[in-house]
């Protein structure tokens, strides 16, 4: 099994995290892992993101990756911070070649048949469908799965707790990305753990 597929199969939901204060990172990770969601995507959208990755990696059982990686310098910074996998909103030849050369599990974003074909040319078969709802939702992804049944997907963008199960019922969809699990501001760890438990039970 590919390393990225193993990560995608670990839990039905990958929390997509925007961390503004690295001091909160560890408690957020502990709550998510305790709730059954060990795979954590820290988006590189804030100044605290790289420090947050380093803090979350201290949590036993956490598998911490970097999201919103859009170029090679971002890839290198994420790896240096300890990211165990890389997620991108899109796919370029430069980023795809760099990620495969470094051998790190890589989940690039796709929104069309052309995107998937570009990925296949790079030897990639696992993709993030993004932004999922804005790109036509589940019917759109099902239409792409038709000609690309060898590929596996993690749709992200607009998916909620009450819609995730519909996506996860499709065999080629191994997990979904979700930003609903952690609110803004000081983390409510009890609420985060509760949300994680509900999300982790989606495929039970």
Q: Which residues are catalytic?
A: 41, 128
Task: Measure CA of the first residue to CA of the last residue in the chain; give whole Å.
Answer: 22
Q: What share of the chain is helix, strand, coil (3-state, %, to 5)?
A: 40, 15, 40
Q: Specify the pairing of strand 176-178 against strand 13-17.
A: parallel
Cα–Cα separations (whole angstroms), residue 182 to 25, 35, 116, 163, 192: 11, 12, 30, 17, 6
For residue 176, the cross-strand partners are 13
Task: List CB contacts of 182: < 8 A, sequence separation 6 or more.
Answer: 15, 17, 28, 32, 192, 195
SS3 186: coil
């Amino acid at each position: 099994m590919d390393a990225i597929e193993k990560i995608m199969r670990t839990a039905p939901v990958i929390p997509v995290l925007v961390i503004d204060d690295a001091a909160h990172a560890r408690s957020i990770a502990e709550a998510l892992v305790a709730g059954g969601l060990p795979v954590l995507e820290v988006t590189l959208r804030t100044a605290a993101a790289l420090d947050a990755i380093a803090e979350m990696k201290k949590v036993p059982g956490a598998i911490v990756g970097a999201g919103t990686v859009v170029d090679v310098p971002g890839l290198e910074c994420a790896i240096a911070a300890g990211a165990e996998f890389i997620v991108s909103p899109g796919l370029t030849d430069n980023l795809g070649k760099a990620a495969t050369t470094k051998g790190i599990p890589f989940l690039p974003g796709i929104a069309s048949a052309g995107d998937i074909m570009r990925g296949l040319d790079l030897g990639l078969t696992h993709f993030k469908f993004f932004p999922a709802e804005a790109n036509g939702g589940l019917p759109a992804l099902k239409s792409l799965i038709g000609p690309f049944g060898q590929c596996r997907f993690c749709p992200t963008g607009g998916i909620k707790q009450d819609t995730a199960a519909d996506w996860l019922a499709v065999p080629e969809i191994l997990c979904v990305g979700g930003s609903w699990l952690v609110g803004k501001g000081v983390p409510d760890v009890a609420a985060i753990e509760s949300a994680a438990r509900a999300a982790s039970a989606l495929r039970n």
